[in-house]
Amino acid sequence: MLEPEIAAFVERAKALYSRDHTAATVNDQRATYERFAAAFTPPLPDGVHTHDAPFTSPDGHTVRLRLYAPARRAQSKGTVLYFHGGGFVVGSLQSHDLITARIAADTGLCVIAVDYRLAPEHPAPAAHDDCLAVTRVALDARLPFGPLPRSLQLAGDSAGGTLAASVAMRLRDESVTGVDGVALVYPMLGVEPQLPSRDTQADAPMLTLADVQRYGALYWGAGVKDVKDVKDRALAAWTIPLEASRYDALPPTLAIGVEHDPLCDDARVFAERIRAAGGRAYAPVGAGLVHGSWRALATSPGVQWMHREVCRFLAGNAA
């Protein structure tokens, strides 16, 4: 059952989308998503300041970054790289301004949002490559924002969760250390969602199984419904966390699923595999919540709990 405040959020969200929005052009979908996000985005919290800067990756791509600096930046104990959701297709620095700003305000950590390349213009592994490149530079203390706290964590929602988890796993495979934690909110971690929520929540509000498959096809390629459909197996192992061959030696991980979401069990399965490999992973479930509900932070008790869990995790892992 939906939390009453979330039911109201869903109805408000529906009013901002046309019934045939999935048939719209990609550019129209992006514009609609930005309007939807703006409708739930308040002014910046008191004391939080932003600074935008470009980053040029080793392969020549320019990625926009935005720093959210807390009121007492000089006393901040850590930095968080945040990868936004949007199915690899929609989303921007502006679309997740609510989330990144509040994390900075409520943890005292510096938060850097990453405006990675989007599909279908830039299919896999473009978004992953961008996020990996930014993370490498952050670990080397070479981000274009001046001195930042050395403790680094990765966070993301939905497709951004895919990116955060994958970057952490890729760095582990290369024996690169320095990521102190990974926080994922309703993450998409496989080509197809895990059972049983894949079936029981296939028609959930805000995100359906068909939506997940449509976004996946735009990023990994048409016809991809299973890892065997990904032509480049090395690409699959690198960009799809639940297709990895090992789950050991990962940073402490928080993976929050929400009840009414076909992706709910992705978080659970990922955490179970990390724990089975001897790592630390926690996978609570947001009862009564839906995919994308972080935007209901102002009204929903369940979302406020979820946000506190993320902030407590990130603040606690900052060295």
The catalytic residue positions are 158, 261, 291
Helix (H) or strand (E) holding 128: helix 126-139
Token reading at 305: 């709990």
Q: CA 242, CA 165: separation in Å to the nearest integer?
A: 10
Single-letter residue type at 62: T
Single-letter residue type at 20: D
- Provide the CA 248 distance to its chain's centre, in angstroms: 21
Cα 86 to Cα 29, 52, 249: the distances in Å are 11, 21, 28
Is 68 within 8 Å of 46 (Cβ atoms)?
no
Backbone dihedral angles phi then psi of residue 256, each to the nearest 5 degrees: -95, 120
